[in-house]
Amino acid sequence: MAKDTLSAVIDDAELRARQQLAEAWFVELRDAIRAEFEAIEDEYVAAHPHAGEAGRFEETAWKREGDAGGDDGGGGVMSVMRGRVFEKVGVNISTVSGVFHPEFRGNIPGTDGDAGFWASGISLVAHPRNPHVPAVHINTRYLNTHGKRWFGGGADLTPIYPCDQDTDDFHACLKACCDAYQPHYYAEFSAWCDDYFTLKHRQEKRGVGGIFYDYLDDGDFASEWAFTQDVGRAFLKIYPQLVRRNMDAPYTQDERAYQLIRRGRYVEFNLLYDRGTLFGLNTGGNVEAILMSLPPEVRWP
Amino acid sequence: MAKDTLSAVIDDAELRARQQLAEAWFVELRDAIRAEFEAIEDEYVAAHPHAGEAGRFEETAWKREGDAGGDDGGGGVMSVMRGRVFEKVGVNISTVSGVFHPEFRGNIPGTDGDAGFWASGISLVAHPRNPHVPAVHINTRYLNTHGKRWFGGGADLTPIYPCDQDTDDFHACLKACCDAYQPHYYAEFSAWCDDYFTLKHRQEKRGVGGIFYDYLDDGDFASEWAFTQDVGRAFLKIYPQLVRRNMDAPYTQDERAYQLIRRGRYVEFNLLYDRGTLFGLNTGGNVEAILMSLPPEVRWP
């Protein structure tokens, strides 16, 4: 076997090993999040016996049609819980592969010669019932094209009634996660988050920020992969604390009405600006999984 | 006075006369619609004494900042009624002028040498409370740029539970309006409407169609102007009939729940695809007036 054929085989084996690693992690993180969120539902119902039954996640699997029309395009599993604390929370994992459409190719790194791609990730949006429990979004993903591989993701908090303690704790947890890897990560990724989650037409931020990163590829796969896993772990550490801290707070009908109006901003952002949403809808993604992020009840009075 | 100076003065006077004519008509049509919709509210409350008070339109005027930063950009008046029959109905009239931003200029006829524009129009969206009363949208407008002038608009019906009689009557009324002008109008404009009001990501139509037209300029100003007025009159003739026919129909909580889900499709269309909405939001239009079209209460369960 010639040397460059051998190294190509090794590279290929390493690529596949990394893909399997990523895919398995997103399943593991998804399972841990589901268990924790269901435990919160159980705690709430134990404390409020008249609240009804504790919510449970329901799974729906979907397949993506292959780009040549077959069933080799991958797919995903959507998990949705409609509970007492979590009015609606969705967690999607997906692993898809194929060929980028010509109109997107120019925007994606490493697709000059070959437009093939492979991507795996997890995405979560939670809309709590109590207006004093902040909504949250996380997403982490691993992508490779023919010429590049990178990580992307982030976590951001959208309180209806921002509370300094919650905001500070959320940011502190993400900062600690970032600081364990690169000193510039937090400053860069939190600024990117503020910039990204802006409703330009209203000159408003969607929430109180967090971190956002994309095209992360500084050449150290092991470190970047560990960081991406730690973003998921940081979320799983801090967000349940914020939920438990606020889920018993009393609220008025006026506060509930205001929550439904603020949720309209969430819809406006996701349908007008969110890259993942627009990319998914424009490339034949699974509509129900993509729009799982939309709040269960909304008002534009 | 040289002959071409004189003809330029005459052209300019004619242009201004046409602008005044258009602007005055949109006010007249708006007033007639408001009166008819308030009369429907009165009839409903007379028949259902426990329904609460009949709705009334509330006006909010807004100014558009001039493109040089002054207050000469025009403006509009938004009228919103939150009533018993009409859960939310908004009627906007506006007259704006200025200079198209460079990124839009290429898409707009007659802006090669001079990017100035003048536009006046009326836009209405009604979201009735009863799921058996169809939602409706109309818009008619007159625009001129340096090199062109044209009409655009249309009317389309979005029932929650489509009913052949309502659909047929709505289309018949618009067809009669079209047929009085050009034999090809109805076939062309109703096909355009079906194509335009499609949610591509769901491969669904938003409603049951109507008519849609743009860049209407066949050289006969008088005829096209009369047609544009008659589209408004046709709407005012047929839609109140459909409302009165259905507003007392009993409905279940399940039907109401389904209505709120279908309204989500309306939001998806307006924020993902609607040209007027995206154009307005991207060019610093009045956000409240533009998003007046969004339904009062929506669910993505």
pLDDT tens, residue by residue, B225-275: 999 999 999 999 999 999 999 999 999 999 999 999 999 999 999 999 998
According to the model, what pLDDT value does residue A100 have?
74
Please tell me if residue B65 touches chain A, with a CB cutoff of 8 Å.
no
Question: Scanning every residue of chain B, which has its alpha carbon at the shortest distance from the alpha carbon of A89?
Answer: B301
pLDDT the model gives residue B3: 62
Q: Please give the average per-residue pLDDT across B198-224, as a whole number.
A: 93
pLDDT at A69 (0 to 100): 67
- The residue among A67 and A13 whose pLDDT is bigger is A13
With contact defined as beta carbons under 8 Å apart, do A139 and A121 qualify? yes
Count of domains observed in chain A: 1
Domain span holding position B166? 6-293
Residue A245 lies inside a defined structural domain of this protein: yes
pLDDT score for A103: 67
Q: Say whether residue A295 is in contact with chain B using an 8 A CB cutoff.
A: yes
Cβ B300–A298 below 8 Å, yes or no?
yes
B124/B136 Cα distance (integer angstroms):
8
pLDDT digits (tens, 9 = 90+) for B76-112: 999 999 999 999 999 999 998 888 776 666 667 777 7
Predicted confidence at residue A213, as pLDDT, reads: 96
By the CB < 8 Å criterion, does B207 face chain A? no
Long-range contacts of A162-165 (CB under 8 A, 24+ apart): A162/A208, A163/A132, A163/A246
Lowest model confidence (mean pLDDT) among A96-110, A128-142, A280-294: A96-110
Is residue B229 assigned to a domain? yes
The average pLDDT across B182-205 equals 96
pLDDT above 60 for A267: yes
Give the CA distances from residue B52 to residues A301, B42, B85, B196, in Å, rounded to whole numbers and listed in that order: 18, 11, 11, 38
Tell me if A88 and B272 make a contact (CB, 8 A cut-off): no
Provide the 10 A C-beta neighbour count for residue A203. Answer: 8
What residues of chain A lie within 8 A of the CB of B291, using their CB? 268, 300
Asked if B294 lies within 8 A of A202 by C-beta distance, the reply is no
SS3 of B205, please? strand
Phi-psi category of B12—alpha, beta or left, where left has phi over 0 and alpha has psi -120 to 50? alpha
Tokens 């929430």 belong to A207
B96-152: pLDDT as tens digits: 888 877 666 666 777 777 778 889 999 999 999 999 999 999 999 999 887 788 999
Cβ-based neighbour number of residue A127 at 10 Å: 24
**Coil, helix or strand at residue B158:** strand
Query: Would you say residue B299 lies in a domain?
Result: no
Residue with tokens 């008025």: A252
- From chain B residues 260-279, the ones with a CB under 8 A of any chain A CB are 260, 264, 267-268, 271-272, 278
Q: Quick one: pLDDT band at residue A167, thresholds 50, 70, 90?
A: very high
Q: What pLDDT, on the 0 to 100 scale, is given for residue A106?
A: 66
Contact (CB<8Å) A299/B300: no
For residue B301, tell me if it sits in a domain. Answer: no
Q: Is residue A49 part of a domain?
A: yes
Write down the ipTM of this complex.
0.90
| Average of per-residue pLDDT across A7-36 | 90
Assign A297 a pLDDT band (cuts: 50, 70, 90): very high
Phi-psi region of B17 (alpha: psi -120 to 50; beta: other; left: phi over 0): alpha
| pLDDT in the model for residue A116 | 82
Mean local confidence (pLDDT), B189-209: 96
Res. A101: pLDDT tops 90:
no
Q: Is-contact B278 A278, C-beta < 8 A?
A: no
The tens digit of pLDDT for each residue in A114-138 reads: 778 889 999 999 999 999 999 999 9
Smallest CA–CA separation between A18 and chain B, in Å?
32
pLDDT of residue B104: 66
C-alpha torsion angle, residues B248, B253, B258, B261 (rounded to 10): 110
Tokens of A51: 């609240």
A82/B301 touch (CB, cutoff 8 Å), yes or no: yes
Alpha helices, DSSP H, located in chain A: 3-47, 102-105, 164-179, 185-196, 221-246, 253-272, 275-282, 287-290
Q: Per mean pLDDT, which range of A53-62, B64-73, B273-282 is the poorest? A: B64-73
Q: Which candidate, B182, B186, B206, B177, places its Cα nearest to that of B194?
A: B206
The answer to whether the CB of B242 falls within 8 A of the CB of B170 is yes
**Where residue B129 sits, what CATH number does that domain have?**
3.40.1500.10
Q: Average pLDDT of B218-226? A: 90
Classify burial at A208, counting beta carbons within 10 Å of its beta carbon; exposed 0-12, middle 13-18, buried 19 or more. Answer: buried
For the ranges A188-192, B70-74, B217-221, the maximum mean pLDDT occurs at A188-192
Query: Average pLDDT, stretch B9-13?
Result: 78
Distance CA A57, CA A89 (A): 9
pLDDT tens-digit profile of A217-251? 888 889 999 999 999 999 999 999 999 999 999 99
pLDDT tier at B5 (50, 70, 90 boundaries)?
confident
Calculate the CA dihedral of residues A276, A278, A282, A283 and round it to 10 degrees. Answer: 0
Give the C-alpha separation, B25 to A194, whole Å.
45
Catalytic positions of A: 137
Tell me the nearest-neighbour CA distance from B116 into chain A, angstroms: 23
Whether the per-residue pLDDT at A113 is higher than 80: the answer is no
What is the pLDDT at residue B14? 85
Is the residue at A298 inside a domain? no
Q: Tell me the average pLDDT across B22-33.
A: 96
